[in-house]
Chain A
Amino acid sequence: AQSVAQPEDQVNVAEGNPLTVKCTYSVSGNPYLFWYVQYPNRGLQFLLKYITGDNLVKGSYGFEAEFNKSQTSFHLKKPSALVSDSALYFCAVRDLSLTYKYIFGTGTRLKVLA
């Protein structure tokens, strides 16, 4: 069965420091992996995806994520955090060989401190 885990409910980081939001997954086939961000009182916004190819994918707002097959991880990273990055981040996985459905993680609240 598909699953995705975000082990941290909240991550605090100082402005200007690098940030990492963790995500691990479990699928039976090839994973399609996604990160979304949700700002207060807003819908989810797509940040980036890994489908195939280069393990390091770059997305919106300076975010990037690294696909690590051996560790079944897809951590979200940014070299220098901004206060405006404070939001709720969701990792999602889709196993295209089985279903069109997404499985979303529980979300990680990122708080960037000025």
Chain B
Amino acid sequence: SAVISQKPSRDICQRGTSLTIQCQVDSQVTMMFWYRQQPGQSLTLIATANQGSEATYESGFVIDKFPISRPNLTFSTLTVSNMSPEDSSIYLCSVEGGSGSPHYEQYFGPGTRLTVT
């Protein structure tokens, strides 16, 4: 398994500002995923981040709004730019398996609860 930490755990931000969320993994992984989840609801994939290449965004999400960095195999950041109240959500990062043989399951960070006022 993989152990994932996220910073910050929560934040309250004013509209129009930006917040960068950090995701740190305890092992080297190829793919990292960023999800958004409304409390008590399902997960929506924002983008997939591979080290050394541009992130791949899902329909409805664009790089200008959610820029992602992936500087190495254990770290990624997601920025929520020019925030509006509609961006209030829980943001989760995840990785597939851990080091060694393929696992296929994903492991999730504890999430960042964002409230935009």
- B-binding residues in A (CB < 8 A): 32, 34, 36, 41-46, 49, 51, 88, 90, 94, 96, 100-102, 104-107, 109
Interface size on B, residues (CB 8 A): 21
A88 engages B108 (CB within 8 Å): no
Checking B4, B40, B48, B94 against A107 with a beta-carbon cut-off of 8 angstroms, the contacting residue is B40
Residue B105 CB within 8 A of the other chain: yes
A105 engages B42 (CB within 8 Å): yes
Q: Give the distance to chain A from B15, nearest Cβ to Cβ, in Å.
A: 24
- A-binding residues in B (CB < 8 A): 1, 4, 31, 40-43, 45, 48, 92, 94, 96, 104-111, 113
Of chain B, the residue at the smallest CB distance from A49 is B105
Q: In the bound complex, how far is the Cα of B40 from the Cα of A106, in angstroms?
A: 9
Q: In the bound complex, how far is the Cα of B103 from the Cα of A94, in angstroms?
A: 13
A100 engages B106 (CB within 8 Å): no
B42 engages A107 (CB within 8 Å): yes
A104 engages B42 (CB within 8 Å): yes
Q: In the bound complex, how far is the Cα of B108 from the Cα of A32, in angstroms?
A: 18
- Give every chain B residue within 8 A of A96 (Cβ-Cβ): 104
- Give every chain A residue within 8 A of B48 (Cβ-Cβ): 100-101
Supply 16 further A-B pairs (C-beta < 8 A) apart from A43-B4, A88-B40, A104-B43.
Answer: A34-B104, A34-B105, A36-B108, A43-B109, A43-B111, A44-B106, A44-B108, A46-B105, A90-B42, A94-B104, A101-B45, A102-B45, A106-B41, A106-B42, A107-B41, A109-B40
